[in-house]
Structure 1
């Protein structure tokens, strides 16, 4: 007779706990079945290989559960590192990098090259046994992103006179052509996961860098995504006391910007969330991408993670 050891008991208890977790997740899995979830992957978490592998594994799991993930990635820290090595100085306006010729060349090289292909490769490796494949794209592929030059208006703190700030080669999505994305998502024979670098082309043929949050919002709106997840390197939206806000409406998000509570990179995130919801996305979540399995906690548990932003009640 073979007796059960302490380690066997622990494994059995772990198995029962896993089964319970899966059963509790079932209602949420059904909510997102065959729905599109757009995920913006960015922040310093992208530079951590262990976290990147977990992220790729979670993306594969979403695909195997019948969800259609579409990944849009940033690469700010990677661009900054390359610019520093090249001796090019960066300046920012409301969280957007002012982009001259030299910066644009490096940004495209980093975003469309190293970062984009690395993320696609991690997804393909994580999904090898199930034939889930990451497909690296930029907005320049198949006319995916047509952009227009972005501008910002700032008030001089002394004179309070408004001035137009030239951001250089920074664009905003004007047209999202989703034909290629839908072809990949709906392929009957393969499980493809689009991975999009935030680079686009204007009608005059010039290449522009785009804020990845903004691209994610535009893509999510065009695809009528069920959810948009903004994975970053903070827990979510913080109030004036630096406490996490669990849930807010579009109007409340606007108020945070107007009151100056939201600053820096949080401004384009909230603006993106607002625009995405107004374009038809059901809800947007800003959450910490450095935490293992943050996406799974958000989508498949009652508590969720980060800050959930929804439309105003009717």
Structure 2
């Protein structure tokens, strides 16, 4: 890249740096960007750069592939119902080991390797997240809906200059059980409680496309009132529906914009946050 081009990139980013410095962005980290080592490094560097320019970063993560892998090693069968992992007592122990241990601490270690202090917690710690059994026509075991977010805990961690890294498990409201929480939902609830500037869901797709097989049909901006028609026309369907629902809930509860972006694209976070065009679908 020529020096002039590099300078133009920085100049284009300047108003966004000024706009978002001091603001909070919640990033749901998952998909192939969590599995592929090169992509993992790329995402972490984006997050560190955003922190360096004054953005308050909160990371929320799941770890589905790692939970499945450990379950297989322990001869625990993985079962999915309507896209959600059936979570019995054996499975919730695996979820806790993976999300509170392996995945959470790997993310923290990577952030610290690149010079940013991070604090790894789950929804259990400090009663960050309270939950009840998810309302469903079928038994999903220990899968929960979040009922309360202890937002002060996250604010205190941010105030100390750390990046909170939150594993998506919650404590039961009154029953003393632990609950497996969908990471997109977890991120949306935390973003809403923080009244964050942005909620960003890192996925393995580019965003909402008129034709999922054609990247050129990406819908770069999507207003809330347009969503029902896209659902009716079958453009928003399948696994995109719950992601859109999380984005909508976040916005209706105080988050300014929600974004669905492809974490497998290098520097996708920087391109979405600090450029005119963006790279995914912004919902507002």
On the 8 A contact 2:12/2:276 being kept in 1, the answer is no
Write out aligned runs for 1:219-258 (5 A): 219-239=190-210, 242=213, 243-257=217-231
**1:3-29 deviation line (CA, Å, top 9, x unaligned):** xxxxxxxxxx63433222111110111
* 1:246–1:306 CA contact under 8 A, matched in 2: yes
The size of the alignment, in residue pairs, is 280
* CA 1:105–1:271: 2 relative to 1, 3 Å: same
Q: Is the 8 A contact 1:94 1:265 kept in 2?
A: no
RMSD (Å) for aligned C-alpha atoms: 1.7
Offset at residue 289 of structure 1 (A):
0.6
| Corresponding residue of 1:274 | 248
* 1:201 pairs with one of 152, 157, 171: 171
SS in 2 for 1:166: coil
Counterpart pick for 1:22 among 2, 6, 10:
10
Give the TM-score normalised by the residue count of structure 1.
Answer: 0.84
SS at match of 1:34: coil
Which structure shows the bigger proportion of residues in strand conformation?
1
1:86 corresponds in structure 2 to 74
Q: Is the radius of gyration larger for structure 1 or structure 2?
A: 1
- Cα deviation 1:12-58 (Å, max 9, x = unaligned): x6343322211111011111110000000001220111111111111
Displacement of 1:151 after TM fit? Answer: 2.2
Q: Supply the distance in 2 between the matched residues of 1:81 and 1:18 (Cα, whole angstroms).
A: 42
Q: Which residue of 2 aligns with 1:151?
A: 135
After TM superposition, the structure 1 = structure 2 runs for residues 134-213 of structure 1, keeping only pairs within 5 Å, are: 134-152=118-136, 164-187=137-160, 191-203=161-173, 204-213=175-184
- What is the aligned partner in structure 2 of residue 290 from structure 1? 264
1:66-85 correspondence runs (5 A): 66-85=54-73
CA offsets 1:102-160 (integer angstroms, 9 cap, x no match): 21111111111100010011011112xxxx211111000101000111123xxxxxxxx
Contact 1:95 1:268 in 2 (8 A): no
- Do the aligned partners of 2:122 and 2:167 also contact (CA within 8 Å) in 1? yes
Tell me, yes or no, if the aligned pair for 1:94 and 1:264 is still in contact at 8 Å: no
Structure 2 gap segments, 5+ residues each? none
Q: Shift in Å at residue 258 of structure 1?
A: 5.2
Matches of 1:194 and 1:141, distance apart in 2: 12
5+ residue gaps, structure 1, are 1-12, 153-163
| CA apart distance, 1:290 | 1.1
Are 1:57 and 2:28 an aligned pair? no
Q: CA deviation at 1:309?
A: 0.9
